Structure 1
Amino acid sequence: MTNVDWPLSDYDRFQLFTEDECRKACLDDCFCAVAIVREGDCWKKKFPLSNGRFDSSNGRIALIKLSASQHSSPPSNCHVHLPLESEKPMIDESRLVMLGTNLKRFTYDELEEATDGFKDELGTGAFATVYKGTLAHDNGNLVAVKKLDREVGEGDKQEFEKIVGAISRTIHKNLVQLLGFCNKGQHRLLVYEFMSNGSLATFLFGNSRPSWYKRMEIILGTARGLLYLHEECSIQDIHGDINPQNILLDDSLTARISDFGLAKLLKMDQTGTTTGVMGTKGYAAPEWFKKVPITFKVDVYSFGIVLLELIFCRKNFEPEVEDEKQMVLGEWAYDCYKEGKLDLLVGNDQEALDDMKRLEKFVMVAFWCTQEDPSQRPTMKTVMEMLEGATEVPVLQTHPH
């Protein structure tokens, strides 16, 4: 089967493998249900397969194991068989696509029961409150239930469900997956997978400082998620509110962006001005407060602020500091950069001090992201290339703010 994948189900990956080698690797592994092959890369997937996706341009070949009873000569001691491309798959492609986009429709009563009357609040924002829930009918799986304010999506029910369906098809390892929704009467709720390690804000600004290398991984993961939203998914989307509360961490502390798609539910016109200001104070780009078109560059600005926070492990605004020059992180960082004293912000973070070349490069990227003029900010694709070293970071000529 071609152009089909289950992006969230892989547990092992090999490189420089032929299709036959990938097939054999899966056959020899009793946990492997499907092998995906593309241009020398081989991914092994295991049950339960979920979030299946068909994309006519991805160029991947899915090798699906069948039980021995479905074929006359089982080729391995796992008693399974992988079909050749010419053989008929065990399930037709249209059904696979539906499995990947079949959101669970919840009743309000179901979600009220799952959250025990909306008791355990995980967080609250300008447009919604999030509660922890348990789905009793689904093996007790934990979920995050986002209860939207009444004015959010209060228009046409079909339009709401169309947008929610589009959000559910936006699948990436650095995005939080939407599992279901409720759209009954005045109630608008979204059900997401639960992120066990909470928000980046809690992780970054807690009592102990996270390691430099884990912070670098979070930076790159967040950038990849934003790049996917902006340029690589089928419905390119402005997030509108990138900040440490909306970047969550899963079991392995992988960065997962949440709340993408809410801009559409808030009826933001992606090609012109918006009907209201989004974003969070301290992270919102200047153009939110002007009568100018809103573009993907608002997310680039917010990412730049978060990037500085991750580099120096402190909040963007600290009103309690003794030296008022240190209140705004971006201002202080720029002053230290001009004077060649970025180590003042690093303090006793020895891992960061040992990696000053990369630290200085990432700081420069943050300065470009937070330029006042959106046309001077890079795209997330360029940001990603600069962070990974594929593109040189230009010399900064102007103050970022």
Structure 2
Amino acid sequence: MLQKMRYQQTLQYPSFLSFLCSVFFLSFATSATNNFLQRGSSLSVEVDSDLLVSPDKSFTGGFYAVGKNAYCFSIWFTNSKDRTVVWMANRDKPVNGRGSRISLRRDGAMVLADVDGSTVWQTNTTATDVQRAELLDSGNLALKDPHGKILWQSFDFPTNTLLPNQPFTKSKKLVSASGRGSYFSGYFSLYFDNDNVLRLMYDGPDISSLYWPDPDFTVFQNGRTNYNSSRIAILDEMGTFLSTDKLQFNAADMGFGVKRRLTMDYDGNLRLYSLNNLSGLWEVSWEALTEPCKVHGICGRNGICVYAPQAQCSCPPGYGVTDPSNWNKGCKPKFNKTCSQANDVKFVELANVDFYGYDLDYSTESSIDSCRNLCLGDCRCEAFSYRLTGEQLCFTKSALFNGFRTPDFPGSIFLKLPASLETTEPNSTLIATNPICGIRESEIVIGSPSMFDNNSKKQTWVYLYSFVSAIGAVEVLIFVLGWWFLFRGHGVPASLEDGYRALSSQFRKFSYAELRKVTKKFKEELGRGASGAVYKGILADERVVAVKRLGDMYEGEEVFWAEISTIGRINHMNLVRMWGFCSERGHRILVYEYVENGSLDRHLFPPNFLGWKERFKVALGTAKGLAYLHHECLEWVIHCDVKPENILLDSEFEAKIADFGLAKLSQRGSPSSGFSRIRGTKGYMAPEWASTLPITAKVDVYSYGVVILEMLKGIRLSSWVVNNSTEEQEPELTRFVRIVKGKIQCREDDSWIEKIVDPRLEGQFSRRQATTMVEIGISCVEEDRNKRPAMASVLQLLLECEE
């Protein structure tokens, strides 16, 4: 403990640290506080100043405490608040806090030895001309010869983190930690599979399962390719990740000068983090999975992942949690499994729940009774899944892994349980017993090196010392009291505190006076819609923003803040990003990113003109944004007003959907199956708005269909024209669809598409893409919403013909 206090003091007093450096250097001691370790020198776990520091001070290497008296030789970010580790030499076999040492031996090997002298870890550089070990500005620990050539480097042996400019190849893996606050190897990994595709896998004690990219789709449907002979990926300093399987993504704050890391997290998600230099905290700038429940194995055997609203693990009726501190062990049955007779068995339905994989049998056009009988007749069957998707799909399950509940799943799981077992009523709500992000850690204390054996990685342990815990408790108490006095003094309801804390790391809360100033008293109007007017503004940091003043449609401040926190969690490159908000007295204002090229209607319709390449790019980007809202976003938001005016174009003509959260904001309190009032714009509204049918995501599909048909034709389709046969007026859209359907049915060649597409293009367009867009548009505007495709299907069709 005294050693840790001395270490903290040296961090607080740089002059004292410099003094120690000078003393050690002048006395030619073996310890080091610079960026290299000479051959024949060593670092001791007992000397807190024995550190390697990169030249730019970004990274530090040394012994890192991972438990009481337990240490690993590690590299961490110097300026991050929690000293985030990026690499460990001995993550699964910590050494003793007394007598352990890492040495660069005279035979060229770098060796980590425990207190008894036993070798815990070493490099494969024996009998080489290694002169020094050097910690580089990149975070790479390199062993170099006298000429500066690298003979060994930590970049070749990653743990759970990839740093910028660190090549990731076929021989490498990023392996997660076993739990929150833990450093032992876990069950989730990122690696290149045998088909050259980069994947995420759960490799647990019972099962191994791939879950990213989406296993329900082919490699090409997922936007990847396996037609490549190499396996290499890299994250560059700009925040762009590139892989030979065509995977590419960018950090939300893309640009130079930001410290980043790509980490395989303990919860099975792959995330790109950016360091906030002011706070020392990390912010997520990209993640592989926006829905945590899509991670396989996250809740163990028989466990079900539910949103409540955060992802949490639960046990189904008839099952209990095996180990509350470790959800990898899942749930255990409260009954003995036997091959019972039909009279001794009952089935309990869990709506919108499914278990991925482990299908014993599969049948289509099957009634629910025949599906039940199929499970009854097989002793191996533990449950059956039944889907009402028009095909009446039946799947019997031999094991219950990868369970999840989502409103998007159009079916139920029926658990096979003993009739005598007391359970809750069928279709009862699953009780989430433990958040995924709240897995507890247990302690580990090292008394002697013999405590670590081959089974040590099965143990879990904590990072915090009792001293740090005490200090942390005092800080938390002060923080809570400060918040209590702050909010009590301003009369803000307690229910708003969580909302503000959730927002504080993502948005900025503006005052009305400040927004009035940055918009020059709301002088320059960019546009106006049903929900309010939008003005251009310039913030103090010179960022250009779009400031939207909302109309009088919100019940109160608490309602507004609750909805803003929901919209704030939505992040996609094809959705306009929210940067802040104002909730002051009667003012409700949203602050968005400014999108340079304005809305689609200003470029598409005469007298303006948009080229084909840009049109298809907009169609694809809009489909990506809507598919995210409908299928990936945790809240499953329906836009309700998709039209060219709400599709903005950036400097590269990338589509960004605007106003995607306002439907949710304005419909607070209305039943989930319907809306309190009609929304949308005439010409883009689905027929069900005028009926008593409940409003679903298919209203957005209809509007999207109108938009892409307008992009094909280059004109508005919401006007009315005279029907020559009846001399009555009919919508231009109805007439256009009728003509197109006729041409598709009687076509003998591809010349019909020339008569459909905007003549201003003068034939300069892709016939394949245009045909696909016509077929998508026609199917999207079907009057019967059940015949319209889902946005996920639309997106896949567009991706397949992307050039």
Three-state SS of the structure 1 residue aligned to 2:770 is: helix
- What amino acid is the match of 2:694? P
1:190 aligns to 2:594 (yes or no):
no
Instruction: Indicate the structure with greater strand content.
Output: 2
Give the match for residue 377 of structure 1: 788
Q: Counterpart of 1:46?
A: 255
Q: 676, 694, 706: which is aligned to 1:305?
A: 706
Q: What residue number does 1:363 align with?
A: 774
Aligned to 1:287: 688
Tell me which amino acid in the other structure corresponds to 1:209.
F
The 5 A counterparts of 1:15-30 are 22=233, 26=236
CA distance in 2, matches of 1:39, 1:144: 38
Query: The residue matched to 1:196 in structure 2 has which SS?
Result: coil
Quick one: distance in 1 between partners of 2:594 and 2:165? 25
Question: Structure 2 counterpart of 1:367, which letter?
Answer: I
Contact residue 128 and residue 148 of structure 1 kept, 8 A: yes
2:549 counterpart (132, 142, 147): 147
Which shows bigger deviation, 98-107 or 367-376? 98-107
2 CA distance for matches of 1:16 and 1:333?
Answer: 50
* Matched ranges for 1:129-148 at <5 A: 129-135=533-539, 137-138=540-541, 140-148=542-550
Residue 60 (str. 1) matches residue 270 (str. 2)? yes
Q: Residue 226 of structure 1: which of 616, 626, 640 is its match?
A: 626
Once the two structures are TM-superposed, the CA of residue 224 in structure 1 deviates from its matched residue by: 0.3
Provide the rounded CA distance (Å) in 2 between the counterparts of 1:244 and 1:148: 20
Cα distance change, pair 15–246 in 1 and its aligned pair in 2 (3 A): farther
Q: Does 1:250 pair with 2:650? A: yes
Partners of 2:168 and 2:765 in 1: CA distance: 33
> Could you say which residue in structure 1 is the equivalent of 2:508?
104
| Structure 2, gaps ≥5 residues long | 1-83, 86-163, 174-231, 278-462, 464-500
Distance in 2 separating the partners of 1:53 and 1:199: 34
Does the residue aligned with 1:309 lie in a helix, a strand or coil? helix
Structure-2 residue corresponding to 1:72: none
Measured on the aligned residues, the alpha-carbon RMSD in Å equals 3.8
- What corresponds to 1:275 in structure 2? 676
**What's the CA shift for 1:388?**
2.6
Contact 1:273 1:293 in 2 (8 A): yes
Deviations along 1:344-387, one digit per CA (max 9) or x if unpaired, are: 33353456565333312211111111111111111101111222
Task: Say whether 1:338 aligns with 2:749.
Answer: no
Are 2:617 and 1:217 aligned? yes
* 3-state SS of 1:359 partner: helix
CA, structure 1 residues 64+267, in 2 after alignment: closer, same or farther (shift >3 Å)? closer
Is residue 721–residue 732 contact of structure 2 (8 Å, CA) maintained in 1? Answer: no
Q: Does 1:114 find its partner at 2:323? A: no
Shift of 1:141: 1.4
Q: Displacement of 1:105 after TM fit?
A: 0.6
> Would the alpha carbon gap of residues 373 and 333 (structure 1) be closer, same or farther in structure 2, given more than 3 Å must change?
closer
* Kept in 2: contact 1:114–1:133 (CA 8 A): yes
User: Following TM superposition, by how much is the alpha carbon of 1:124 offset from its aligned partner in structure 2, in angstroms?
Assistant: 0.8
Q: Quick one: percent identity of the two aligned structures?
A: 34
Amino acid in structure 2 at the alignment position of 1:142: V
TM-superposed CA distance for 1:213, in Å, is: 1.3
Return 112-121 or 346-355, whichever deviates more. 346-355
Structure 2 CA distance, aligned partners of 1:373 and 1:14?
52
Which consecutive residues of structure 1, in runs of 5 or more, have no partner in the other structure?
3-11, 27-31, 68-87, 89-96, 391-401
DSSP 3-state at the match of 1:192: strand
Cα distance between partner residues in 1 of 2:717 and 2:165: 38
2:262/2:273 contact within 8 Å kept? no
Q: CA offsets per residue over residues 131-188 of structure 1, 9 Å max, x none?
A: 11111x22x21110110112x22x2312211211221221101000001111111110
Name the CA distance, whole Å, in 2 between partners of 1:250 and 1:123: 16
CA, structure 1 residues 211+297, in 2 after alignment: closer, same or farther (shift >3 Å)? same
Taking structure 1 as the reference length, the TM-score comes to 0.74
Equivalents in 1 of 2:503, 2:257: separation in Å?
12
**3-state SS, counterpart of residue 242 of structure 1:** coil
SS in 1 for 2:559: helix
How has the CA–CA distance of structure 1 residues 101 and 316 changed in structure 2, closer, same or farther, with 3 Å as cutoff? farther
Residue 77 of structure 1 corresponds to: none
The corresponding residue for 2:395 is none
Alpha carbons 2:625, 2:657 under 8 Å: kept: yes
Q: Is residue 612–residue 765 contact of structure 2 (8 Å, CA) maintained in 1?
A: no
Alpha-carbon distance in structure 2 between the residues aligned to 1:35 and 1:344: 42
Return the offset for 1:306. Answer: 0.2
Q: How many residue pairs are counted as aligned between the two chains?
A: 342
The structure where helix makes up a greater share of residues is 1
1:126 aligns with 2:530: yes
Once the 2 structures are TM-superposed, how far is the Cα of residue 273 of structure 1 from its aligned partner?
Answer: 1.4
Structure 1, 264-273 or 296-305: larger mean CA deviation: 264-273
Equivalent in the alignment of 1:178: 578
Give the Cα–Cα distance (whole angstroms) in 1 for the partners of residues 608 and 718 of structure 2. Answer: 19
Deviation digits for residues 235-285 of structure 1 (CA, Å, limit 9, x no counterpart): 210011000010001111100000011112112547211110001110011
- Determine helix, strand or coil for the equivalent of 2:570: coil
Q: Would you say the 8 A contact 1:121–1:132 is kept in 2?
A: yes
Contact between 1:33 and 1:65, CA under 8 Å: does it hold in 2? no
Paired with 1:65 and 1:184, the residues of 2 have a C-alpha distance of: 31
Counterpart Cα distance in 2 of 1:58 and 1:206 = 50
Per mean C-alpha deviation after superposition, the further-off stretch among 353-362 and 282-291 is 353-362
* TM, length-normalised to structure 2: 0.39
Q: Any idea what SS the aligned residue of 1:245 has? A: helix
Whole-Å separation in 1 of the counterparts to 2:693 and 2:579: 35
8 Å Cα contact 1:101/1:165 also seen in 2: no
C-alpha distance 368-322 of structure 1, shift in aligned 2 (>3 A)? closer
